[in-house]
Amino acid sequence: MTVIDSNLPKAQNAAGAPTRSVFVDGGSGTTGLGIAERLRHQPDIAVKTIAEDKRKDPAAKRALMAEVDLVILCLPDEAAKETVALIDGMGNAAPKVLDASTAFRVAPDWAYGFPELAPDQADKISNARKVSNPGCYPTGGIALLRPLVDAGLLPQDYPVTVNAVSGYSGGGKTMIAAYENGTAPAFELYGLGFEHKHLPELQLYSKLTRRPIFIPSVGNYRQGMLVSVPLQLDTLSGKPTGADLQAALANRYAGSKYVSVMPLDGTVAESGRLEPEALNETNKLELYVFASDKHHQAVLVARLDNLGKGASGAAVQNMRLMLGLPDLGT
């Protein structure tokens, strides 16, 4: 039996140097286009494309996937499941797969593609054949909550509420069209049925035993998001201060390339204001603690680009880990 080492490239470039090849299924959608734009600046990646009239043809996809090292799925959930079923049937010719949909985010045989989740997570992603790219909102929520749970500052059964606002590109091509043709409202809350598709991953990877309340919203601007978690500090044992929370986050992300924990007394904290667009077109994630020692209250806030660290930027970061390539900064 031929054993294919998935850490060796399937193709060599003309000079004989290793070239990793990637196919983006759903490459003409919002997330796929964002990945393509980032890959234009990565000469060690060869992007294989499928003919326009064949892009939903399973046989054509299967043939192309046999030629590449990694497939990135930027598809609706049902279409992602269909492509994964094709890959599962490919045996030794199967490429690694990185899925941007919600379909496999809490599946036990998939690695969760948030390399900053825990000290060993980047290695888990590097070694996995199947990686799920996180949802944009959970990226912010988990980044804020998990270190506080791990540090024992937030009990696992704490009644957590997560509020968030996203630019309309978070809803893909359909929502972008609705906003850009003027038929969408200026602002709205949604997910008010308590069943938003991001809740399972938000709860699981934050290590919460009690289901959080999650209230997303969308505004009339293209991209960028804020995810916030209010806390009544006098309900927590030991009554931690804002400084305690900020220190736990800063300790957890010390040395991180993409996650920054902002100072408690910086200019943003002093202004008491935060807007969502400052990190657009980057793979950065900023974490803030706003706190009042007088009132024993805090609000944790994550700022990110829903199409950057919330989607395409994270996908490229995970892709390079999965292909054993150095991070180039996405």
Ligand X SMILES: CC(=O)N[C@@H](CCC(=O)OP(=O)(O)O)C(=O)O
Ligand Y SMILES: NC(=O)C1=CN([C@@H]2O[C@H](COP(=O)(O)OP(=O)(O)OC[C@H]3O[C@@H](n4cnc5c(N)ncnc54)[C@H](OP(=O)(O)O)[C@@H]3O)[C@@H](O)[C@H]2O)C=CC1
Which of 21, 83, 102, 280 forms a contact with ligand X (CB under 6 A)?
102
Q: Give the residue with the Cβ less far from ligand Y, 9 or 308.
A: 308
**Cα(163)–Cα(215) distance, rounded to whole angstroms?**
5
Which of 198, 284, 309, 320 forms a contact with ligand X (CB under 6 A)?
198
**Cα(218)–Cα(172) distance, rounded to whole angstroms?**
12
Residue 21 contact, options ligand X, ligand Y, none, Cβ 5-8 Å cut-off depending on partner type:
none
**Cα(283)–Cα(16) distance, rounded to whole angstroms?**
31
Interface with ligand X by CB under 6 A: which range of 115-123, 166-174, 243-251, 258-266? 166-174
For position 222 contacting ligand X by CB under 6 A, the verdict is no
Residue 198 contact, options ligand Y, ligand X, none, Cβ 5-8 Å cut-off depending on partner type:
ligand X
**Is 117 in contact with 258 (CB distance < 8 Å)?**
no
Residue 314 contact, options ligand Y, ligand X, none, Cβ 5-8 Å cut-off depending on partner type:
none
Residue 307: in which H helix or E strand, if any?
none
Token pair of 149 as six digits: 């749970």
Q: Which residue is nearest to ligand X (CB)?
A: 170
Indicate if 136 belongs to the active site.
yes
Q: Give the residue with the Cβ less far from ligand Y, 37 or 234.
A: 37
For position 136 contacting ligand X by CB under 6 A, the verdict is yes
Please enumerate in sequence order all residues whose Cβ is within 8 A of that of 140, keeping only pairs 6 or more positions apart, or say none: 164, 225, 226, 227, 285, 302, 303, 304, 310
Interface with ligand X by CB under 6 A: which range of 14-22, 119-127, 170-178, 257-265? 170-178
Token pair of 114 as six digits: 């948030």
Question: Please, what is the minimum distance in Å from the beta carbon of residue 272 to ligand Y?
Answer: 28
The total of other beta-carbon atoms located within 10 Å of residue 330's CB is: 24
In terms of DSSP H, where are the helices of 167-325?
172-180, 199-206, 242-252, 267-271, 313-322
Please enumerate in sequence order all residues whose Cβ is within 8 A of that of 38, keeping only pairs 6 or more positions apart, or say none: 312, 313, 316, 330
Token pair of 134 as six digits: 């996180």
Residue 132 contact, options ligand Y, ligand X, none, Cβ 5-8 Å cut-off depending on partner type:
none
Q: Give the residue with the Cβ less far from ligand X, 63 or 192.
A: 192
For position 166 contacting ligand X by CB under 6 A, the verdict is yes
Q: Give the residue with the Cβ less far from ligand Y, 99 or 244.
A: 99
For binding to ligand Y (CB under 6 A), which residues are involved? Answer: 25-26, 28-32, 55-56, 74-77, 79, 100-102, 135-136, 169-170, 172-173, 306-307, 310-311
In terms of DSSP H, where are the helices of the chain?
30-39, 58-65, 77-88, 121-127, 136-150, 172-180, 199-206, 242-252, 267-271, 313-322
Q: Give the residue with the Cβ less far from ligand Y, 201 or 244.
A: 201
Which of 34, 113, 140, 216 forms a contact with ligand X (CB under 6 A)?
216
Question: Please, what is the minimum distance in Å from the beta carbon of residue 228 to ligand X?
Answer: 16
**Cα(16)–Cα(246) distance, rounded to whole angstroms?**
49
For position 135 contacting ligand X by CB under 6 A, the verdict is yes
**C-alpha distance from residue 159 to each of 154, 195, 197 (Å):** 10, 16, 19
For position 34 contacting ligand X by CB under 6 A, the verdict is no
The catalytic residue among 136, 144, 148, 160 is: 136
Task: Kindly list the residues in this chain that would bind ligand X in the complex (CB under 6 A).
Answer: 101-102, 135-136, 166, 170-171, 175, 197-198, 216, 218, 310
Catalytic residues: 136
